[in-house]
Amino acid sequence: MNNKKNKGGRNPKLDPAINRYSVNFSSEEDMRFLKMFDRSGMTSKSAFIKARIFGEPFHVVTFDKTMPS
């Protein structure tokens, strides 16, 4: 018999992201960043930043509201 209790939750990642960095933007730089992030269609800012740093593809999603669906 196994006496180990199941604590629940998800399984831990094999290579967790534990290193953190901080960057400060001016108001103008922040507006540029947020505009790029919005155009990317990504939902996570950290994933967007990593994609930009490591040169992963950058997709811009645009919707033309004047076109009938």
CB within 8 Å of 42: residues ≥ 6 apart: 48, 51
SS3 (DSSP) at 69: coil
Report pLDDT for 58.
66
Task: Please state, in angstroms and rounded to a whole number, the distance separating the CA atoms of residues 25 and 33.
Answer: 9
Query: CB–CB of 12/31 below 8 Å?
Result: no
Report pLDDT for 44.
93
Q: What is the pLDDT of residues 1-34, one digit of tens each?
A: 556 676 788 898 999 989 999 999 999 999 999 9
Q: What's the mean per-residue pLDDT of the chain?
A: 85
- pTM of the predicted structure, to 2 decimals: 0.62
